Structure 1
Amino acid sequence: MATLALPKDQRFADDCSRAQIEFCNVTKLYGSVAAVRALSLTVSSGEFLTILGPSGSGKTTTLMLLAGFESPNEGDIRIAGRSVASVPSYRRDQGIVFQSYALFPHLTVRRNLEFPLEMRGMKVGERTKRVDQILERVHLSGFDGRMPSQLSGGQQQRVALARALIADPPILLLDEPLGALDRNLREQMQGEIKSLHKEFGITTVCVTHDQEEALTLSDRVVVMRAGRIEQVDTPEALYDRPATRFVATFLGEANILENSTFDVESGPIPSAGAVAMIRPERIRIGPSTGAKRVDSEERQSVSGTVNDMIYAGAVRKYQVCVGNDVLVVREHVASGKPTFLPGSEVRLDWLRSDIRFVTP
């Protein structure tokens, strides 16, 4: 899809099809409450970055600041090297997809898609061509005459994405884009969003509270807490090497081995006050009388009693009492693997190298 040329006073840089975003020590106050505190962050050109956090963490406020719907009390926001802190939202040349889709209910799909092009002064023939192209790309050819109310949730989401992308903006903002969809459709749309991002190469910032969505879509993930950045990293590094206890427990499940009734065998503790942690899928479960593993010298073993077993289709999740501790173990269901019912005596073991240390 060719880049849509806009008047020069509406673009942030000449020939800028991609944009780098910079938050420079940004603070946003609501009265005496700081929704965002001293936020400094750079989003590279063409990157897909997701901001993740619980309610009240500041993630949505951060997106609203970038979109121009809110203004910072302190600091600056730069796009393609230019300060936009005082630039209104309608002049920031960004595509935005909201959780509610925000489609015009009284307009057909075609008219919804034509609207941003019409506002840019594009001629009718070119508008028609562009709408046909984007409808084909999002697999909605033939739906152009329908009203939003005649579409399923997934189809409305595709229209919202198409409308955000049709003018080829340098930046795409996604606000809980899949929050209104059921699980199966959400997974399908995750693949569609990844494909569109790869094809268009647009710098994308997404806000979500869904950990799986963040890990699936992103080049990097920002975890926020109480208006501050807790950690920024690639999805794999963030999950496998969380820096803090909050990140470890917020991003998936974690066994925090604090004040355990057994000593954790591992390498040196990296810093004072750090606590050992291991992910549930890193722990193996077996019968208490089972043979030792070939790599047993590299493992730590403890004995316990199954307190509960939860079957979840592809996985079984066990809660195992080890002394006064309860460890969560998650294993994939596979042919030949035994099932341990509540009351079963078992042995847990894990590689010492799978132990991670997190700060409070």
Structure 2
Amino acid sequence: MEKPLALSQIEFCNVTKLYGPVAAVKDLSLAVRQGEFLTILGPSGSGKTTALMLLAGFVAPSKGDILISGKSVAAVPSYRRDQGIVFQNYALFPHLTVRRNLEFPLEMRGVKAADRARRVEHILERVHLTDFGNRMPSQLSGGQQQRVALARALIADPPILLLDEPLGALDRNLREQMQGEIKRLHKEFGKTTICVTHDQEEALTLSDRIVVMRAGQIEQIDTPEALYDRPSTRFVANFLGEANILEGDDFKNEANAAQLSGTVAMVRPERVCIAAPAAPKRAEADKRQSVIGKVDDMTYAGPVRKYQVRVGHSMVIVREHVASGQQTFKSGEEVRLEWLRSDVRYVAV
């Protein structure tokens, strides 16, 4: 029996936010399911942060409505929306200990001292900071401060959690660790979570669905796998990872019934194979496309080797996993590139 879809807990209904004549968000309609982890992704100026601020209640829509559990909150102030918020700079009170930072939102809700103490110890255990309750924020690492910020957002048990560039201030290793922590906490608490980020890897790792925004509007919304493997537009293909656009005389392919007018062929760099021109062709050669090019640059990045290969007037990126005994190519060497026709996607220009 097919599992029914969860009900929408948050709805943007034709929301527009104007700053003078400029629409930071334009006619935004979006439904977020209960318990879902949804990430809003986009470049600077795409409207992703404005969308989060509208939901948080820090700015009011110029047009349209925002519903939470079916009720309009467009005119409800932020402090009455019962949402936990984690900011990029954590926004911890520097003059209060970790324990007092966590107690603060409970005090504001009138929770009794004994219950506050119990809930603080419980949440400290959940975020693996049991021994850090008496420390000041300045005595914590960036990852520890981020966990305190998450704990403070969760301690009052709000139904909705908002994350504003939550890992932007951390280095790469800490970001990867905290991605695991956020995923664990989301699974454990089951909160409907809206995350805003410009980090594509973060979005792919954390999300049930991703909204890609451009110029205040939704460009595409789908699961991480579907967005990466089947982008609908050239913008999404280039923004979410790297994309090789196969257009022009350098890539004269057989006519393909799947290609519609106004689209262009695209293949991901990891789907492209590189070999010496005279190397034996791979199996199922009739299902592959190939071109001859010249290596422009090669970058070694631990488990991955990245080539930039010039094919006529175009540049093709190849990403291959490093393996022992693998042939490598230097700048200036001629190579053959090939890919399966089934790996080609057609995206709107």
TM-score range, shorter chain: over 0.9
Conserved 8 A contact 1:239-1:248: yes
Conserved 8 A contact 1:19-1:203: no
- Matched with 2:4 is none
Shift of 1:323: 2.0
Q: In 2, distance between residues paired with 1:262 and 1:204?
A: 43
Conserved 8 A contact 1:265-1:352: no
1:165-244 residue pairs with structure 2 within 5 A?
A: 165-244=154-233
- Matched with 1:135 is 124
Q: In 2, distance between residues paired with 1:248 and 1:166?
A: 39
Does the C-alpha gap of structure 1 residues 254 and 106 become closer, same or farther in structure 2, counting only changes over 3 Å? Answer: same
Measured against aligned partners, the alpha-carbon deviations of 1:178-210 in whole angstroms (never above 9, x if no partner) come to: 000000000000000000000100000000000
- Matched with 2:14 is 25
- Matched with 1:96 is 85
Tell me which stretches of 4 or more aligned residues in structure 1 moved more than 3 Å. Answer: none
Q: In 2, distance between residues paired with 1:328 and 1:64?
A: 37
- The residue identity in structure 2 corresponding to 1:201 is G
Does the C-alpha gap of structure 1 residues 265 and 185 become closer, same or farther in structure 2, counting only changes over 3 Å? Answer: farther
Shift of 1:20: 0.6
Q: In 2, distance between residues paired with 1:86 and 1:320?
A: 55
Q: In 2, distance between residues paired with 1:271 and 1:99?
A: 42
- The residue identity in structure 2 corresponding to 1:107 is L
Shift of 1:269: 4.1
SS in structure 2 at match of 1:261: helix
- In structure 1, stretches of 5+ residues that fail to align are 1-17
1:35 aligns with 2:24: yes
Does the C-alpha gap of structure 1 residues 277 and 266 become closer, same or farther in structure 2, counting only changes over 3 Å? Answer: farther
Measured against aligned partners, the alpha-carbon deviations of 1:198-251 in whole angstroms (never above 9, x if no partner) come to: 010000000000000000000000000000000000000001111011001011
Does the C-alpha gap of structure 1 residues 259 and 275 become closer, same or farther in structure 2, counting only changes over 3 Å? Answer: same
- The residue identity in structure 2 corresponding to 1:202 is K
Q: In 2, distance between residues paired with 1:266 and 1:314?
A: 36
Conserved 8 A contact 1:19-1:171: no
SS in structure 1 at match of 2:132: coil
Q: In 2, distance between residues paired with 1:249 and 1:66?
A: 28
Q: In 1, distance between residues paired with 2:39 and 2:105?
A: 25
Q: In 2, distance between residues paired with 1:260 and 1:215?
A: 34
- The residue identity in structure 1 corresponding to 2:210 is V
Q: In 1, distance between residues paired with 2:131 and 2:113?
A: 19
Q: In 2, distance between residues paired with 1:301 and 1:265?
A: 12
SS in structure 1 at match of 2:26: strand
SS in structure 2 at match of 1:248: helix
SS in structure 1 at match of 2:231: coil
- Matched with 1:162 is 151
Q: In 2, distance between residues paired with 1:246 and 1:100?
A: 30
Q: In 1, distance between residues paired with 2:26 and 2:291?
A: 44
- Matched with 2:56 is 67
- In structure 2, stretches of 5+ residues that fail to align are 1-6
Query: Could you tell me the percent identity over the aligned residues?
Result: 75
Q: In 2, distance between residues paired with 1:147 and 1:114?
A: 14
- Matched with 1:46 is 35
SS in structure 2 at match of 1:100: coil
- Matched with 1:288 is 277
TM-score (norm 1): 0.94
Conserved 8 A contact 2:8-2:31: no
Shift of 1:174: 0.1
Q: Which moved more, 1:331-340 or 1:56-65?
A: 331-340
Shift of 1:265: 3.9
The one of 92, 95, 98 aligned to 1:106: 95
Conserved 8 A contact 2:16-2:62: yes
Q: In 1, distance between residues paired with 2:92 and 2:254?
A: 56
Q: In 2, distance between residues paired with 1:135 and 1:265?
A: 61
Q: Which moved more, 1:295-304 or 1:221-230?
A: 295-304
Shift of 1:253: 0.6
Q: Which moved more, 1:43-52 or 1:268-277?
A: 268-277
Shift of 1:257: 1.2
Q: In 2, distance between residues paired with 1:259 and 1:98?
A: 45
